[in-house]
Amino acid sequence: MSVWPAWEVREDERTTSWFTVRLAFSDGARVDALAVVCDGCASLEEVRAQPALSLDDLAELADWIEEPLFEACGPRRDPASGRGGSAGSRRARATWPRGIEGRRLVAQEYRAAQQGGADPVLAVMCATGHSRRRSLRLISQARDSGFLAPRHARR
């Protein structure tokens, strides 16, 4: 397994880092992933596998790459526990509420980031632990529910 930095965005005291992860197996199978680490939480942005992964293997992928990913990040502080954010202080992803409550919280995160001059989509990604695509879907659902203003004015 190899992990190397792809890019990093720093904003005030907050750092969001993307990493390229490659798992190569002796039988020729390969998994390439783009992982994002923000505030001590890691999520998978994109996964490509040859041959394709089963759903069970995909569910276990995060466990396979978590330790090497946090080692590549270096020592980070976990604000919730006060410990370092490496593999020794493993943190489960917080469950995000579904339905109207989840959409309302997405809208709050989005507006708070906008008002603070930060990237609102990235803020939703970090808050929910979901990929960019899933976060954009949650934002559009919040718009459809009336929690956010429409993206384009209707004529």
Residues 68 and 1 sit within 8 Å (Cβ to Cβ): yes
pLDDT at position 145 over 80: yes
> 153 vs 61, which has greater pLDDT?
61
Which residue, among 118, 104, 113, has the nearest Cα to 148 in the 3D structure? 104
**pLDDT digit string, tens, across residues 89-143:** 334 445 678 888 889 999 999 999 889 888 888 888 888 877 788 888 899 999 9
Beta strands in 28-112, from DSSP E residues, in sequence order? 30-38, 41-50
How do beta strands 2-11 and 14-24 pair?
Answer: antiparallel
> 142 vs 3, which has greater pLDDT?
142
Confidence tier at 42 by pLDDT (50, 70, 90)? confident
Average pLDDT in the 8-26 region?
84
Distance CA 96, CA 127 (A): 8
